[in-house]
Structure 1
């Protein structure tokens, strides 16, 4: 492994980070915690946290699971936390990885920090940035070097192993072994299988976080596994040569809705027409969507689970047309049988565009046509999802989303404590944040969500 990579993992300090990078680290941290709070009520989260409590007993290093309170091993807490965040597909992502980094990096880093009593808040923020930088590059490298499309867990594993090496203070040799172990055992699972048949396996994020944490501890014990091809292969050297100068944490996109990013351009195009023309869903005969191929593959019309609802183009688009918003409660199990939503989802005509396919993955574009019952046709401009890095949303919108997702399960005082702990993390230490996000939720797990996030409006280009 190159000296520059090792120096970046172990030598980067908070003072080395540009102000914009520090700000985005706090932004994604707040957003991830909000999505975790929203995801904790899902069946997926309940099952995986109970599994971690039973199967990942704490040894000498222990950590508490996100919004649960039970103590497990660091690997178990990383697994449960990554899958709890991924249970609600509302977290940040990256266009070129076609996936996510933060949803696995944050819970793994928190678990490692608890297990190893690493409480410096400025170092936590620095390590979070390191995780984004390494995970994003590993994801791009994997797409470049293999023909299959793998889930995010594959590159999350590499990032989490690097963070484990940093927290554990591994030397250069054992850091290299940790990265190699994580790449080899990372879940190179078939992403499009979960698109075509959505289940709780989702994006492999928790499994990748668990693998990366385990890889670091294995390397510390003398286990070998180098080299990591996605880091050391000559054909990806350019991706690693700009560590510390090209900050890829700034390239992540923000999600205003808790559904697959590929469904969001059609959703926003429809929502834009609804709002601009004051159209009620009952005025609409059917909706026509023109989009890109991967969005077309999100084909579940009548979801029976929240996973199917999150990996659908037609269902959340229909929800947006009927209700004017799409939040966690709208894709929850008890909200999947609305007759008007199902009418529009069933009748939706979805086709793909060669031009939109050619633009993918750097751009995700769609347009919508509302075919009204009186015969009129209203067509949107080409629309991209809100929150792309080229046009980031204001931080206040991220805060509103956090509060909306957290309100059903956390007291107002605790929500305020989390926001304050993140704002003061560099000087105040990690303990306050750790305590606030690892205690059990404050409300019953089946409590209805009384607050909805603001959709953010349509972005037309």
Structure 2
């Protein structure tokens, strides 16, 4: 057992909520709210429905002590099944947070894991809930960076965010350091090392592998409690990655997540924002545009190019997202589902868009997500943007009010104004010393309309 693991175990199991900076706790509450908005909005979507039905069919709990209600559904399954269902659901509406250095997503498993774990342990305080969220983000983010730094393939988030889930489970379920060590080793070994660029080339409901990341993290925790062994997790214990854990408890990755203004792949956001800014600055409409050239980094240039015929492809199509923004000035759930997939105006505009890789943008990925655009108008005038970085991260943050507004926009159509407001208020109330997780939890399990 290395000194690095000792550090991770002490942080995961013993971190005092009061030792977390106020700004970090505020970020945890805000990311909790943002993720819940996506979990709620994705509930009626086909992938979410299938995820919940699969959990009910395959992942029921034989032991009531490790069972949990599924979020916004109410049926009881195993805690691994509940985490899987909510993470799969959330993952398939690509509006949840992410972290540039890890090239992936954390909240998509952390929030489902918290909701599932809360069903298996006695009620805990609001500050403890935020501390557990923070542990999940800090551990998962560093595991992601470590894995990307030591392997050649570009894998999905489920490959490493499972370790954050394992750390959360160990904390709330009172595991020993040795149980945590085995759990993390199991989670890393079984984490889905799925190929991200394969999903980019052929978008499906597989998405970013986070449903399985949540499942693996929870299953690993239970296996370790029962005595199953699997250590070490080399993303923590190998000497090559020690540098990535050196600032644990000092630099708070929790405060550096990005929030997505639009429910599509983050790689498309810089181009969307560049087009949006040009159109607002020059007061032009989609009808004024003759052609539109997008210059972006390689991974973004690989996104789906044609008119999508399903929600998965719509969320991974840069031209579709840019066309939607140009035509409607926003991108909402209605644009990537249902009739939005048969929008003849968007389909017609796609022919005006060309996407190319720009080496300067590729060199700055993954730390940054830059693009620039050139718009040629019907009158022959050419407009060019500067290099634009995607909004929502530390480089160009959304305001607190914008994030709250996003939550209300996404949550209200599914659960209604009253319940959405109650969830919003309960998330921020968790920062109060006398709050309990159940103050929020009472709103998280019943199906919409109940």
TM-score, normalised to structure 2, is 0.96
Match of 2:19 in 1: 16
**Could you tell me whether the CA contact under 8 Å between 1:271 and 1:320 is conserved in 2?**
yes
For the aligned residues, what is the CA RMSD? 1.2
Match of 1:450 in 2: none
- How far does residue 368 in structure 1 lie from its aligned partner after superposition? 1.2
Select 1:39's aligned residue among 39, 42, 53.
42
User: What are the residue-to-residue correspondences of 1:50-61 with 2, within 5 Å?
Assistant: 50-58=53-61, 59-60=63-64, 61=66
**Could you tell me whether the CA contact under 8 Å between 1:300 and 1:309 is conserved in 2?**
no
What's the secondary structure of 2:50's corresponding residue? helix
Select 2:371's aligned residue among 357, 366, 375.
366
What's the secondary structure of 2:342's corresponding residue? coil
What's the secondary structure of 1:350's corresponding residue? strand
- How far does residue 119 in structure 1 lie from its aligned partner after superposition? 3.0
For 1:370 and 1:437, locate their aligned partners in 2 and report how far apart those are by CA, in whole Å: 45
Match of 2:445 in 1: 438
What's the secondary structure of 2:293's corresponding residue? strand
- How far does residue 280 in structure 1 lie from its aligned partner after superposition? 1.7
For 2:190 and 2:116, locate their aligned partners in 1 and report how far apart those are by CA, in whole Å: 20
1:349-387 deviations in whole A, cap 9, x for unaligned?
Answer: 111111111111111111112222222211111111111
1:107/1:298 Cα in 2 relative to 1: closer, same or farther (>3 Å)?
same
Match of 2:51 in 1: 48
Select 1:129's aligned residue among 130, 134, 152.
134
For 1:337 and 1:433, locate their aligned partners in 2 and report how far apart those are by CA, in whole Å: 38
1:268-291 deviations in whole A, cap 9, x for unaligned?
Answer: 111111212221212212211111
What's the secondary structure of 1:349's corresponding residue? strand
- Whether 1:315 and 2:310 are equivalent positions in the alignment is no
What's the secondary structure of 2:102's corresponding residue? coil
- Whether 1:380 and 2:385 are equivalent positions in the alignment is yes
Match of 1:290 in 2: 295
More displaced 10-residue stretch of structure 1: 331-340 or 250-259:
331-340
Gaps of 5+ in 1: 444-461
- How far does residue 311 in structure 1 lie from its aligned partner after superposition? 0.5
For 1:306 and 1:215, locate their aligned partners in 2 and report how far apart those are by CA, in whole Å: 32
* Higher RCO (CA < 8 A, seq sep 6+): 2
- After TM superposition, the runs of 4+ consecutive aligned structure 1 residues lying more than 3 A away are none
- Whether 1:97 and 2:102 are equivalent positions in the alignment is yes
- How far does residue 414 in structure 1 lie from its aligned partner after superposition? 0.8
What's the secondary structure of 1:366's corresponding residue? strand
- How far does residue 56 in structure 1 lie from its aligned partner after superposition? 1.3
What's the secondary structure of 1:298's corresponding residue? coil
Select 1:405's aligned residue among 378, 398, 410.
410
For 2:367 and 2:158, locate their aligned partners in 1 and report how far apart those are by CA, in whole Å: 21
Match of 1:325 in 2: 330
Match of 1:390 in 2: 395
More displaced 10-residue stretch of structure 1: 75-84 or 117-126:
117-126
For 2:339 and 2:186, locate their aligned partners in 1 and report how far apart those are by CA, in whole Å: 42
**Could you tell me whether the CA contact under 8 Å between 1:118 and 1:167 is conserved in 2?**
no
Match of 2:189 in 1: 184
- How far does residue 432 in structure 1 lie from its aligned partner after superposition? 2.5
What's the secondary structure of 2:291's corresponding residue? strand
TM-score, normalised to structure 1, is 0.94
- How far does residue 300 in structure 1 lie from its aligned partner after superposition? 3.1
1:144-183 deviations in whole A, cap 9, x for unaligned?
Answer: 0000011000111111111111122111111100000000
**Could you tell me whether the CA contact under 8 Å between 2:260 and 2:266 is conserved in 1?**
yes
- How far does residue 442 in structure 1 lie from its aligned partner after superposition? 2.4
